[in-house]
Structure 1
Amino acid sequence: MENIKLMRDNQAQFALILGIFGAWAFDGSGPIRNPYENFRSISAMWPNVEHFVLRSDLVTDGTINDLSSLDGERYSIGMRNSGAEQTGFYIFDALGIDYSDELSIAYMGYGPSANALQDGNIVGMNIPAGPPVTAITRAYALLGNSMTILDFTDENLEVINQEFPLWQSYEIEAGTYPLQEEPINTAASPNILVARDDVSEEIVYNMTKLLWENLATLQEIHSATKTMAIEVALNGIPVPLHAGALRYYQEQGVKIPEHLLVP
């Protein structure tokens, strides 16, 4: 939310934000009560991949629905006021997981959550990030099959996308983590690059062009960008495109969804 505030106050002209925060800001919903409509999307970047972890002895069907079967066990949702907390609770609410009754919520960062899981102080943790995530890698190395990253079913995805169509199915390939022998079918939503709407069309056009025409270099620098491709650059974006980005995508023949066009 801090990046939204910086743009609103004109202390930043560009920002990288979670897709759900962009949707909340533009809509004036969730934790962002005052609509902020003076920003535009440039591109989806790397995905924010959901890792809802649960101790394996508490797993029934291996999906996020298993969290509804808990009875007051301690579960780490992320640090207070973090993106992990906000998106985690949003998903719980959408799926009807009564976390105030079924879970004892702990507020921890990624590293402390992994430590607490290993020590038996929590039964699971919410770690949304691009795989491989260091905290998950460390936990898997020590716990192996004693922990499970929960799957999302097609029905789960349909439900969490009812308000904002942000999440898509994402497969964490087998071997991404130590001792992970099977693929994990989870959900992911995009981190999105945005700009204030008063940034000039030419600047945003050149930035968009620079991004996509130098993607190979970016992918050599940061492994999270390896899933990026111009063919999916607009997937999961909730905010209309900046005029400069729109011009570039139209030149490249990218199909523009109607909701990304400024009325």
Structure 2
Amino acid sequence: MKKLKWISMVAIISLLLAACGSDGASGGDSSSGDDSSSQSIVFGTGGTSGAYYAIGGSLKPIFEESDSIGNVTVESTGASVANIQNITDGLNQMAIVMSDVAYDAVEGKGQFEGNKVEVQALAGMYQNVVQVVAMSDSGIKSIEDLKGKKVGVGQVGSGVEQSAKKVLEAAGLSYDDLEKVTHTGYADSVQEMKNGTLDAAFFTSGVPNSNITDLMQQNDVSFVEIKGDLADKLMEKYPFYKTFTIESGDEAKYNLDSKVETVGIQNMLVVSKDVSEDTVYDLTKRYYDYLGTDAVAVAPLKEVNRDEMAKGLIAPLHPGAKKFYEEKGLLE
């Protein structure tokens, strides 16, 4: 009798499990009927107070209008290096990165030494401008004058530090030639300059940088130019650098008395090679169309010329992006 009861219980449990499995399968079929071709995208950006994160937030609804996209999750990250690593690890499908970091990743150099990454470009964005700011009483008039000075070079491993090292190298300098090197973020570099413990600092960002604007409120500073032979050396060795001029008299850009010639590094939208051609084609088209409207709210994106967003891309184009640019006649 006990054996019969046990067999009956097993039968009942089996029926219940079968019913649950049937419901689950039915639910899956119903869901896939609406979203079978859609893909969820994790969009790697940067810190929550930075431009990358704001741009991600502004592009999220634009990309989610695509029938190919189910949802876009804007993720705060450690920016360029972390974003490329996350794409490699399958954690992000799309990200914003600086071209110098993308170059190192594709070529297997720098922080990616011996470990090439198959990241692909979707589009170009605004330039991160190398801004070297010095206290006016420091006697620093050129990059070479940083020798023997106290200099902030950005946080360890950051895009700012990578730029600082390359600029110093082009000028024949290294950290050993400086009196003091601090690995500080923008806000801390500015505070140290205010306190008199730093003579100068590197900032690689859009223009204006709010931290520089803050420093200029009550302090006399000067911008150290990167031009002429120095700029030529940089651009010859590192093809991701481009000349950039911060114009004078522009109240939105420091309201300088005279223009500043320097170099910039293009930011890029990159995607995983595993995202489909049709999806990337649609994302590229929507980004292009969005840049042609008055709805662009984030300041750095207003600087982007949409008809040049296929130029100067360091990473190879994703086939979907390439198809769109070929149709628009935007490839050189």
TM-score, normalisation: structure 2: 0.71
Which of 125, 136, 145 lines up with 1:45 in the alignment? 125
1:255 corresponds to which residue? 331
SS of residue paired to 1:239: coil
Change (3 A) 1:235 1:65: farther
Alpha-carbon spacing, 1:34–1:8, altered in 2? closer, same or farther (3 Å)? farther
Q: How many aligned residue pairs are there? A: 250
User: Could you say what the CA RMSD is over the residues aligned between the two structures, in angstroms?
Assistant: 1.8
For structure 2, which runs of at least 5 residues remain unmatched after alignment? 1-80
Deviation of residue 178 (structure 1)?
Answer: 4.8
- Matching residue within 11, 21, 28 for 2:108: 28
Shift of 1:105: 0.4
Secondary structure, counterpart of 1:185 in structure 2: strand
Q: Which amino acid aligns with 1:49?
A: V
- Please report how far the alpha carbon of residue 59 of structure 1 lies from its aligned counterpart in structure 2 after TM superposition: 4.1
Deviation of 1:218 (Å): 7.5
Give, in whole Å, the separation in 1 of the partners of 2:273 and 2:287: 19
Question: Closer, same or farther in 2 for the Cα pair 1:126/1:218, shift >3 Å?
Answer: farther
Structure 1, unmatched stretches of 5+, are: 257-263
Deviation at 1:56, TM superposition (A): 2.2
Q: In the alignment, is the contact (CA less than 8 A) between 2:291 and 2:306 conserved in 1?
A: no
User: Residue 81 and residue 218 in structure 1: after superposition, are their counterparts in 2 closer, same or farther (change >3 A)?
Assistant: farther
Q: What residue number does 2:145 align with?
A: 66
Q: How do 1:79-98 residues align onto structure 2 when only pairs under 5 Å count?
A: 79-98=155-174
How far did 1:135 drift?
Answer: 0.5
Q: Counterpart of 1:50 in 2: which secondary structure?
A: strand
Contact 1:172–1:185 (Cα < 8 Å) also in 2: yes
Offset of residue 34 of structure 1: 3.4
Deviations 1:9-50 (CA, angstroms, capped at 9, x unpaired) = 111111111101111011111121233342211111111011
Find the partner of 1:234 among 310, 315, 319. Answer: 310
Q: Which residue of structure 1 lines up, in the alignment, with residue 266 of structure 2?
A: 190
Q: Structure 1 residue 89: deviation in Å?
A: 1.1
State which of 170, 178, 185 in structure 2 corresponds to 1:109.
Answer: 185
- 1:169-180 matches, within 5 Å, as 169-174=243-248, 175=250, 176-178=252-254, 180=256
Structure possessing the higher radius of gyration over alpha carbons: 2
Q: Distance in 1 between matches of 2:295 and 2:195?
A: 36
Question: CA 1:11/1:242 → structure 2, altered by over 3 Å: closer, same or farther?
Answer: same
Work out the CA distance in 1 between the residues paired with 2:321 and 2:312: 16
- Higher RCO by CA contacts (8 Å cutoff, separation 6 or greater): 1
The structure where helix makes up a greater share of residues is: 2
Whole-angstrom distance in 2 between the partners of 1:106 and 1:218: 41
> What residue in structure 2 maps to residue 138 of structure 1?
214
Q: Pick from 220, 229, 233: which aligns with 2:296?
A: 220
- The sequence identity of aligned pairs, in percent, is 24
| CA positional deviation for 1:253 | 0.8
- Give how far 1:219 is off: 6.3
SS at match of 1:46: strand
TM (normalized to structure 1)? 0.88
Q: 1:104 to 1:254 in 2, by over 3 A?
A: same
Task: Give the Cα–Cα distance (whole angstroms) in 1 for the partners of residues 143 and 241 of structure 2.
Answer: 14
